[in-house]
Structure 1
Amino acid sequence: MDVDTRVVPANERYDYWHESVCDHFVPLLVTPASRNLQGRIQAVKFADTHVRRIAGTEHRFQRREQDIRRGGDPEQLNIVFVTHGSTVVEQDGRSAALHAGSFAFYDSSRPFDFRTRENFDYTIALLPKNRLDLPEATLRGCTIRPRSARTGVGRVARRLISSFAVPGREALGPSQASAIQDSLLATVRPLIAVDEPSIDASMFRVMARAYIQQRLADPDLSPRAVAAACGISPSYLHRLFDTEPQTVAAFIREQRLRTAAELLTSPAHRRDSIAKIGAACGIVDPASFSRMVRSRFGASPRELRRGASVRFI
């Protein structure tokens, strides 16, 4: 848990919470409904994309013009998934009620107002607008238009983003973080259109690839685990990869070894033991790790660390 109001004395709780919310999101006015303030935030980051889970007692969150002038604008389009509670949201002249199982977009560049009616629990992805590569009119037109996250592409996006909102599951290296961000953006981009997008096989492939990238450190990562996380059968997952250059198992292995090579050649991980790097990539047996690295790159982990060339083909 990155932030939890229970860890600070009651008389310091509001200042701690207000500062934490502004640090993890954007500068805004935070107004708890009662003195019995409680709140918690979990935060992870993939390249320029942030995923947050925030929960607490009844609140009002207002981003005003003065907040934008004072704290600047990170230029983010945010998608909020409601897990618990009911919230009235306003932006761009539109007002809507969000309930558990729904989602909506809102924009950091303009004022917004969230008024929760009870305890709340949200998962929010903060998406860099320059990476979405969409016209400003399209981005402005998608805000505060609630839809269901229980079916279709909304369900896929909710499952994917919620699975990432757990501290300690950040990407191991820059290339992995970039791949996860690309998958997140590819999943969310169709939802920005006002019309309901249709779900197709490419969506599940994107979700599967992102889930694999984010779980490389798990030695139990397998096609069956990936299928379960995506809400599809193992046989359907294998069919999704029939047209890909690699099977699901081969893709998992390749991503583990690419990440291992990145860590072995990174100055930031020079002090990490080879066994630790292998375990971080989900390969817990050092002998197996060495054999797999040599077979893939033609050099041992130690030789890669000493500067042997790495070719990703």
Structure 2
Amino acid sequence: MSRELTTASVPQEQQLAYWREAMSTQPVPTAVARPAGGPFAGRITTHQVGFLHVSSVEADAHRTSRTSGHIGRSRESFVMLGVQVSGTATLAQDGRRATVGPGGLMVYDTARPYFLDYPERFSTRVVRLPRRSLALPDDDLRRITATAIDTTQGYGAVLTPFLSTLVASAPSYSPAAAGRLASGVVDLFATLVAEQADGAGPGPQDSRGALVARIRDHIDGNLGDPALSPEAIAKAHHISVRYLHRLFQDEGITVGRLMLRRRLEECARELARGGRVAPTVSSVAQRWGFVNPAHFSRVFRGSYGISPREWRSLSAGGSRDSRQPLVAPERAR
């Protein structure tokens, strides 16, 4: 599917008004200002590549701005990746401003106001990613908008030519290839964001370490929910499952094993507590998110070396060393 928007067939005196009206009704509406009078010519050719929309844009000098009013009228948020082909562009967003020339890469988020200034005739290639397809932490994404991205090394050097080729060759892709390429763009961009976040260090509002800490707190607060899963955790923190697993690569434990270990620890702690009316093993298991008692007994024995009932009996009889921490051993880590 392709669409073309052009002033070529519009009377010269109406071209700027036509362009302004067209830009105000796009999926990402913006306002257009022209610094000087005279004729205006512009053309946008858009293709769909999987779940992405890619565009080649050529136009005379102008400035586009996206305000809170535009944002309020939009149904969906996008992340825009622009590769400058000719001319220069200045992007301002999130309190920063960056200027790029030919070969430069810029990133902006349509969920927040921005402006783009093109002081001369220009050509650019733009890839529009649905914000929901990225599921990146807002603070990591904010670090990369309106910044000077190095396109000579690192993932910037990989992503930029890939985007340029993707747009230029968009009509030739089969549906199956288009879907794979769209997923590739998401993976490459997410990796670029992670690279930039790692290099920038902790931001004013968040850091990877703080995000991991919040996720650990979330897991501890929801251990009793049988629906707790990597997918549910990622959704609660507005990140992708892929990014969630990447966050825990340096933690020495997977998210799934962390959930299992913490549930087993709480079960062991409760079973060891004893008292006049000891809870049943199955009730303890269900309280901490284990739906199947047989499965619970199997994983408990695999981690602690004895069954839950034996653990409770040893604790009640004082056979277990009270100084022993109630932590599942290495097999559950």
TM-score (norm 1): 0.56
**5+ long unaligned stretches in structure 2:** 200-333
Q: Does the Cα contact within 8 Å between 1:138 and 1:192 map onto a contact in 2? A: yes
Partner of residue 331, structure 2: none
Deviation sequence 1:220-267 (CA, Å, 0-9, x none): xxxxxxxxxxxxxxxxxxxxxxxxxxxxxxxxxxxxxxxxxxxxxxxx
Q: Does 2:59 correspond to 1:53?
A: no
Q: How far apart are 1:195 and its partner, in Å? A: 2.9
Report 1:82-121 matches (<5 A).
82-121=84-123
Q: Does 2:181 correspond to 1:180?
A: yes
| Aligned mates of 1:45, 1:127 — CA distance in 2 | 11
Aligned-residue CA RMSD in angstroms? 2.5
Partner of residue 72, structure 1: 74
Q: Does the Cα contact within 8 Å between 2:83 and 2:163 map onto a contact in 1? A: no
**5+ long unaligned stretches in structure 1:** 199-313
Q: How far apart are 1:58 and its partner, in Å? A: 0.8
* Residues matched between the structures, number: 196
Deviation sequence 1:137-191 (CA, Å, 0-9, x none): 2122221112233444323322222222248616433x44322211121222222
Consecutive aligned runs of 4 or more in structure 1 exceeding 4 Å deviation: 22-25
| Aligned mates of 1:88, 1:194 — CA distance in 2 | 23
Change (3 A) 1:154 1:47: same
Q: Which amino acid aligns with 1:39?
A: G
Q: Which amino acid aligns with 1:177?
A: A
Counting aligned pairs with the same residue, the percent is 23
| Aligned mates of 1:83, 1:150 — CA distance in 2 | 16
Q: How far apart are 1:107 and its partner, in Å? A: 0.3
Partner of residue 40, structure 1: 43
| Aligned mates of 1:23, 1:158 — CA distance in 2 | 28
| Aligned mates of 2:51, 2:160 — CA distance in 1 | 19
Q: Does the Cα contact within 8 Å between 1:59 and 1:115 map onto a contact in 2? A: yes
| Aligned mates of 2:126, 2:184 — CA distance in 1 | 16
Change (3 A) 1:8 1:151: farther
Partner of residue 13, structure 1: 15
Partner of residue 229, structure 1: none
Q: Does the Cα contact within 8 Å between 1:78 and 1:126 map onto a contact in 2? A: yes
Q: How far apart are 1:101 and its partner, in Å? A: 2.1
Q: Which amino acid aligns with 1:184?
A: V
| Aligned mates of 2:157, 2:27 — CA distance in 1 | 24
Change (3 A) 1:140 1:152: closer
Partner of residue 195, structure 1: 196
3-state secondary structure, aligned to 1:74: coil
Q: How far apart are 1:35 and its partner, in Å? A: 2.4
Report 1:153-232 matches (<5 A).
153-166=155-168, 169=171, 171-173=173-175, 175-193=176-194, 195=196
Partner of residue 125, structure 1: 127
Q: Does the Cα contact within 8 Å between 1:2 and 1:167 map onto a contact in 2? A: no
> Pick from 25, 31, 37: which aligns with 2:33?
31
Q: How far apart are 1:111 and its partner, in Å? A: 0.5
Deviation sequence 1:56-100 (CA, Å, 0-9, x none): 11111000111112x214211111111222222111111122222
Change (3 A) 1:192 1:163: same
Q: Which amino acid aligns with 1:8?
A: V
Change (3 A) 1:23 1:156: farther
Partner of residue 203, structure 1: none
| Aligned mates of 2:182, 2:33 — CA distance in 1 | 32
Partner of residue 209, structure 1: none
| Aligned mates of 2:191, 2:101 — CA distance in 1 | 22
| Aligned mates of 2:46, 2:70 — CA distance in 1 | 22
Q: Does the Cα contact within 8 Å between 1:77 and 1:127 map onto a contact in 2? A: yes
Larger radius of gyration: 2
TM-score (norm 2): 0.53
Q: Does the Cα contact within 8 Å between 1:2 and 1:43 map onto a contact in 2? A: yes
Q: Does the Cα contact within 8 Å between 1:157 and 1:188 map onto a contact in 2? A: yes
Q: How far apart are 1:51 and its partner, in Å? A: 1.0
| Aligned mates of 1:157, 1:197 — CA distance in 2 | 18
